[in-house]
Amino acid sequence: MYYVLFTYWCNYLISLTPHQYCYPSIFIYGHRASGKSHVINFSFLHLLFLQLPHATLSCVECVSVALLFEQVLRSFFGCDVASLLPRSPSLTDFVRIYRQQSPARQTRYIVMEKAELLRDADANLLPALLRLQELDNVTVILLSEIVWDTFRPNTGCFEPLLLHFPDYSKVELQQILSQDRHPSYSAELYSFYVSILLGVFYSVCRDLRELRHLAALNFSKFCEPLAEGKVKETDTHKLWKNIEPHLKKAMQTVYLREVSSLQWEQMQQMEEETGALKGLSAHTHVELPFYSKFLLIAAYLASYNPARTDKRFFLKHHGKIKKTNFLKKNEKTTNHLLGPKPFPLDRLLAIFYSVVDGRVAPTASIFSQISSLVTLQLLAQVSHDDQLDSPKYKCAVSLEFICNISRTVNFDIMKYLYDFL
Amino acid sequence: MSTSSVSKGCFVFKPSPKKRKKQDVSQESYFIHDCAGPESGQRRFKLCQDLWKQIETETEVLQDELHRKILDSLLEFSRKCSSSRCHGDWASQMRASEIPTAALMLGVNVPDHDLTFSSLSDLLRQSVTPYVVSLQAKECGALKHLLKRVLEGLMDTVVAVDDEDEADQAACHVQKSVHCSLTTLCDWYIIKTKKSSNDTPGKKRPSTVTDEPEQLPPVVVIFKDLEAFNPKVLQDFILICSRYVHRLPLMFIFGIATSPSTIQHMLPHSVSSLLCIQLFQSLSCTEHLATVIDKFILTHQFPFKLTEKVLSVLVSIFFFHDFSVRNFMKGLQLALLEHFYAQPLSVLCCRKKAALRHATQLDHGDLERIRQLPSFKRYVEGQEAEEQVTLMTDDSHLKEVCQKLIKTLHKYHKNYYPTLRCLHTLTSTLPRHLLGKQIRELHEACLRKNVWEQENYQSAMKLLKMQAKDELVVSLRRCAEILRSVKSKTMKNACEQLEELLCRFQQLDAAVDVAPSEDECVLSPPKNLPKKTDLFQLQKTLLEMNESRRSKKLSPFEILRNETVEFVDGLVRSHLWPPESQPLHEVCYYSSVATVKHHLNASPRTSIQVALSNPDHYLENDSLKTEDGTLSSAAPDICIAYKLHLECGRLINLYDWLEAYATVVSAAEVDPDQDAFGKVDEVKHARFIRAVSELEFLGFVKSTKQKTDHVARLTWGGC
């Protein structure tokens, strides 16, 4: 598919004589690493003899419209023209300066990667780009991972030519991956290796980039018996037996980026099968100051218990609360499914003072701990920063995390959680 | 100060450097303008400054040492990254698109991180690359700002290093403001590296010119507080960077306060797959604190001491509130400053020689102050009657005695700390940590009162008497090492005794090897005390053992062991007196807990309440002073309103409140006979309304819709 599209596209480009116009705007979409940018960029390289003027830019990088205009102007006309742009240029400025330049003798191409970000830009930008050809012999090529339907502005716009890049099939993946073979080993061996790799990973990952990365990482392990002279290149079964468990392990660690590729290589060199290296998510333990722990516990209770039950949990003489009234059926067990609810500061402090052992003076450092918990993202401030009186918070930690914390201070949190009563 | 602004608002005036200088001078004058006379003030100020400088330099050294390991591994990582990138190796080429990232786990003590990062970036600049930029989340709200920070940080440092012309700098600025994109940075980097690679071969190593392109210095971006960054901004930045990584050797350092899983929470797989993350763990803040305490508090070389209460306040602030070593040091600084400021006799708080010299220079007033010291009084009472009289009257005799006492105080300290360490090494391995896991806890216990009178100590000694030989010998060896390094006569003696005991243990070993005695075998089961038992069971077994021991004949090992324990006990009893027992201890020990608490652990709410109920406390106006529970009618309006509102229920009728207020206020103004007494005039009305709105602002009342002309009280208590 990739080759077909490539040749098709190149032929189209070649067929255009300098004075012919290309289609005003082309929208290319397809999943990550399905060859969109590659086809476009490679075609410009490949057809160097045509000397097609083009500007390639990524929309992530264009923080402001100014940068976008500037990059386009710079790659077409050079820095001098780009510097003509005023400080915060509008579309009109861009058009004005573009018009001042000599008209194109052949089609100019503007390639925009990650075009989905254009939707967040000014409302008039995308429609204008789509019909930029009315200005001059210009074609805008938009590359995106999502379909055109989500782009269409409310006011309507010029419809671009849609071009879909389908995902690679397994065979195609194998062909592509086999291309970057190791120089010191035969192509057959490498393609055999790729087929093993695909056998393990194809079910979880079809991203070409990721697969390539994994192939590079594990190839040295694959070659190990060959290098040691234990196995011949033709003895495929043994090679497969050697690498398969290793790849399975890789799927759990390095593919998820639990372990970095550098560490993975080191692990291979050390030959430690036990997997002494802990992944990123294994380190969840956070050491906190004593009162911060209780503040966090109080925040968790405030987030997951309905406010009306506070009286029952934290008041010594709460009087009689009717059981039926207290345990409302629909409310029960749903709090943890619904996620944390916001609570005001007062409630947090009231719960804090009742759960913490001993008397705690309401000092400034207690309050500053709340805000440092917010910066550590263990609490989330719900109300706006400007709201000084009675700010509202949410607790942003998981049940497991809070259980660990409360275990260190000998606080049985399960007794205080409405959902688990 | 005035501004040219037409509108109202808050304006920041940065102090000019001239004014700073003036302040520096006046710092000393604070010390001079107090009761003890300018000379002693100056001396104390100098002592204080010297001590603080000593602390500062030593903390720096300490921090460097502590962070050495992690910094070294980080540097190693960055070097490896920068070198492996350019290798022609097939595998490293295949994953060259990953940005090397160091995730630095620093713990939640955020205030300390600054120091770590500053030393880290200094080290990086020195040894790896000149291109280092640190980012803080609050500066990088949007991608635009982040990029701007990166560019400014990188390009400015280089401008500063190379001393470029100002014109160039200006041009640079203009360029930046036009487009701050990574392309600019890339171009700049290529120019820079080209320039430097042209420069260096001539100077340094002409032979390795071929290596030059491989040794391109990486561009290091440090994210100081990863948690606080906006995830979207970070993701976009990483995406952009990954487009340039082939041309620009980037490297990231993430400073993480909580746990590494934050990275996974913040970055989706598509972004984190662009990074090659390696984890680095810095040492925990409790260990850090332990080393700091070890360095500055548990040493005789540092003359300034803290009493148990002050120390425990500082330590509890650390453990309960912030985990910040920097704040602990600030607390220490405060105590130091307060001590030298408030205690005139602190001139004697310095090294022994200087202290003796200062003692000869004491004037009459100082000597009188010494006579007033409680510890000195106790000392005098212990003397004979004749001596007592001379001490209280003869200044020159007192000076001599003072010198003698200072010497004993120093000797006391010299013996105290080694003994403390010995006791700690012996007891820290015991089950249940009766005398504390950390030496700091033991120190606090010793400062509190005679440690040998404490129950825990006695049971620890009992346990020690049951320890197996191997453990005992190991810890005794460590003790001997501690004692050997001390230059003090008594400690030398103790050391010799200890070594003799160790010798005898070895001889015992030899003897046992020759003829393994039977009762050793019999005795071994009770020695294996179960490590985890509750106190009751432990006591029971202890009692049983005691009895069985009495009934049995002791083996030579047991005799020796008992002897050793007695020896340690004797050492403790002779050296681990609490400082209160020493005359003149007030000179070195800072004891004002209230001041430390007041400054370090402020409670705004209490202060507000104090200000409202006892206005004289802050206004320092004696005319406002009244007996308990009453309030002078001359007090500020808000105090009167506050006092009156305390007497109301949950809802307060504004009119009644106003009436009451008017009555109280008029009592101060006119004599009660006049007609106008208690009447509400416009001024009073206005003052009252202001007072109420101030109370509302402070959060004591709020307006309510439940009842007309009423406000709701927001605090409990009162009637």
- Determine the residue of chain A that is closest to B227 in CA distance: A376
- Within 8 A of A83 by CB-CB distance, chain B residues are 178
Mean per-residue pLDDT, B611-634: 78
Provide the pLDDT for residue B44.
Answer: 84
A261 closest CB neighbour out of B95, B228, B285: B95
- Within 8 A of A261 by CB-CB distance, chain B residues are 95, 98, 276
Token pair recorded at residue A194: 């790729």
B171 contact A CB<8A: no
Residue of A82, A23, A21 lying closest to A57 (CA atoms): A82
Cβ of B82: how many Cβ atoms within 10 Å? 21
Give pLDDT tens digits along chain A (421 positions). Answer: 556 666 777 777 677 666 677 788 888 888 887 778 878 877 777 776 667 788 888 888 887 888 888 888 888 888 788 778 787 788 888 888 888 887 777 778 888 888 888 888 888 888 888 888 887 788 888 889 888 888 888 888 888 888 888 888 888 888 888 887 777 788 888 888 888 888 888 888 888 888 888 888 788 788 887 877 777 777 778 878 878 888 887 777 767 677 777 677 766 666 544 444 556 666 677 888 999 999 999 999 999 988 888 888 887 766 665 555 556 555 556 788 888 999 998 899 989 998 888 788 778 888 889 988 998 889 999 888 777 777 899 999 989 899 999 999 999 998 888 888 7
Give counts: helices (H), strands (E), chain A: 18, 8
Mean per-residue pLDDT, B1-7: 70
- Determine the residue of chain B that is closest to A396 in CA distance: B265
- Determine the residue of chain A that is closest to B272 in CA distance: A257
In the predicted model, is pLDDT for residue B8 greater than 80?
A: no
Total count of residues recorded for chain B: 719
Token pair recorded at residue B50: 């010297």
pLDDT digit string, tens, across residues A70-103: 888 888 888 788 778 787 788 888 888 888 887 7
Q: Helices in A229-344 by DSSP H: which ranges?
A: 236-252, 261-270, 290-304, 310-314, 323-326, 335-338
Distance from CA of A367 to the nearest CA of B (A): 10
Token pair recorded at residue A61: 């990088």
Q: Are B164 and B156 in contact (CB under 8 A)?
A: no
B107 closest CB neighbour out of A32, A182, A287: A287
- Determine the residue of chain A that is closest to B319 in CA distance: A289
Sign of CA pseudo-dihedral B338, B340, B341, B345: positive
- Within 8 A of B284 by CB-CB distance, chain A residues are 287
- Within 8 A of B695 by CB-CB distance, chain A residues are none
Give counts: helices (H), strands (E), chain B: 31, 10
A260 closest CB neighbour out of B225, B278, B285: B278
**More confident call, B687 vs B274:** B687
A216 closest CB neighbour out of B95, B257, B278: B95
Q: Do B322 and A364 touch (CB under 8 A)?
A: no
A210 closest CB neighbour out of B239, B262, B273: B273
B90 contact A CB<8A: yes
B319 closest CB neighbour out of A209, A290, A378: A290
- Determine the residue of chain B that is closest to A363 in CA distance: B603
In the predicted model, is pLDDT for residue B244 greater than 80?
A: yes
Helix (H, G, I), strand (E, B) or coil at B7: coil
* Structure confidence at residue B259 as a pLDDT band (50, 70, 90): confident
Q: Do A375 and B320 touch (CB under 8 A)?
A: no
Radius of gyration of chain A (CA): 31
H/E stretch holding B688 reads helix B682-698
Provide the pLDDT for residue B628.
Answer: 66
**ipTM score of the complex?**
0.87
Provide the pLDDT for residue B719.
Answer: 38
Provide the pLDDT for residue B158.
Answer: 46
Cα–Cα distance, B689 to B693 (Å, whole number) = 6
Token pair recorded at residue B10: 């808050």
Cα–Cα distance, B149 to A405 (Å, whole number) = 37
**Which strands form A379-381's sheet, in the order they lie side by side?**
A343-344, A392-395, A379-381
pLDDT digit string, tens, across residues B573-621: 888 888 888 888 888 899 888 888 888 888 888 888 888 888 888 887 7
Q: Are B660 and B632 in contact (CB under 8 A)?
A: no
Cα–Cα distance, B452 to A172 (Å, whole number) = 82
Token pair recorded at residue A366: 């207690």
Cα–Cα distance, B30 to B338 (Å, whole number) = 12
Q: Output DSSP code: residue A123.
A: T
- Chosen for mutation from A34, A253, A261 (greatest number of chain B CBs closer than 10 Å) is A261
B228 closest CB neighbour out of A61, A292, A375: A375
- Within 8 A of A87 by CB-CB distance, chain B residues are 177-178
Per-position DSSP letters for B258-326, written without gaps between them:
S-THHHHHHS-HHHHTTEEEEEEEPPPHHHHHHHHHHHHTS-TTS--EE-HHHHHHHHHHIIIII--HH
Provide the pLDDT for residue A39.
Answer: 80
Q: Are A114 and A144 in contact (CB under 8 A)?
A: yes
- pTM for the model stands at 0.80
Q: Do B91 and A83 touch (CB under 8 A)?
A: no
* Structure confidence at residue B213 as a pLDDT band (50, 70, 90): very low
Distance from CA of B179 to the nearest CA of A (A): 6
Q: Do A63 and B225 touch (CB under 8 A)?
A: no
Token pair recorded at residue A2: 């990739």
B94 closest CB neighbour out of A60, A212, A257: A212
Q: Are A29 and A113 in contact (CB under 8 A)?
A: no
Cα–Cα distance, B305 to B296 (Å, whole number) = 9
Q: Categorise residue B634: left if φ over 0, alpha if ψ from -120 to 50, beta otherwise.
A: alpha
B239 contact A CB<8A: yes
B716 contact A CB<8A: no
**Which strands form B701-703's sheet, in the order they lie side by side?**
B651-653, B710-713, B701-703
A364 closest CB neighbour out of B98, B323, B603: B603
- Chosen for mutation from A262, A281, A381 (greatest number of chain B CBs closer than 10 Å) is A262
A289 closest CB neighbour out of B105, B264, B320: B320
- Chosen for mutation from B136, B273, B609 (greatest number of chain A CBs closer than 10 Å) is B273
Mean per-residue pLDDT, B387-404: 87
Residue of A74, A139, A145 lying closest to A110 (CA atoms): A139
pLDDT digit string, tens, across residues B539-575: 888 787 777 766 666 778 888 888 888 888 888 888 8
| Residue pointed to by tokens 């171009």 | B187
Q: Do B259 and A283 touch (CB under 8 A)?
A: yes
- Within 8 A of B261 by CB-CB distance, chain A residues are 280-281, 283-284
pLDDT digit string, tens, across residues B473-492: 888 888 888 888 888 888 88
Q: Do B258 and A263 touch (CB under 8 A)?
A: no
Cα–Cα distance, B53 to B65 (Å, whole number) = 18
Cα–Cα distance, A301 to A310 (Å, whole number) = 9
Q: Do B261 and A182 touch (CB under 8 A)?
A: no
Q: Are B442 and B424 in contact (CB under 8 A)?
A: yes
B262 contact A CB<8A: yes
Q: Which of residues 314-343 of B touch A (CB under 8 A)?
A: 317, 319-323
Q: How many CB pairs under 8 A join A and B?
A: 152
Distance from CA of B632 to the nearest CA of A (A): 29
Cα–Cα distance, B498 to A369 (Å, whole number) = 49
Cα–Cα distance, B80 to B98 (Å, whole number) = 14
Provide the pLDDT for residue B161.
Answer: 36
Q: Are B651 and B707 in contact (CB under 8 A)?
A: yes
Sign of CA pseudo-dihedral B405, B411, B417, B420: negative
In the predicted model, is pLDDT for residue B515 greater than 60?
A: no
Mean per-residue pLDDT, B317-335: 90
B439 phi and psi, to 5 degrees?
A: -65, -25
Helix (H, G, I), strand (E, B) or coil at B223: strand
Distance of CA B364 to the CA centre of its chain: 38
Q: Are B488 and B584 in contact (CB under 8 A)?
A: no
Cα–Cα distance, B714 to A13 (Å, whole number) = 76
Helix (H, G, I), strand (E, B) or coil at A63: coil
Distances (CA, A) of B287 to A369, B63, B292, B653: 21, 12, 9, 58
In the predicted model, is pLDDT for residue B206 greater than 70?
A: no
pLDDT digit string, tens, across residues B424-438: 888 888 887 778 888
Q: Do A289 and B321 touch (CB under 8 A)?
A: yes
- Determine the residue of chain A that is closest to B235 in CA distance: A60
In the predicted model, is pLDDT for residue B521 greater than 50?
A: no
| Apex A385 CA angle, A379 and A390, nearest 5 | 75
| The amino acid at B67 | H
Average pLDDT across chain B, whole number: 80
- Determine the residue of chain B that is closest to A183 in CA distance: B90
Residue of B560, B529, B588, B527 lying closest to B345 (CA atoms): B588
Q: Do A376 and B108 touch (CB under 8 A)?
A: yes
pLDDT digit string, tens, across residues B71-95: 888 888 877 776 666 555 666 666 6
A364 closest CB neighbour out of B259, B320, B604: B604
Maximum separation of any 2 CA atoms in chain B, in Å: 112
Q: Are B662 and B635 in contact (CB under 8 A)?
A: no
Cα–Cα distance, B471 to B677 (Å, whole number) = 86
Distance from CA of B544 to the nearest CA of A (A): 33
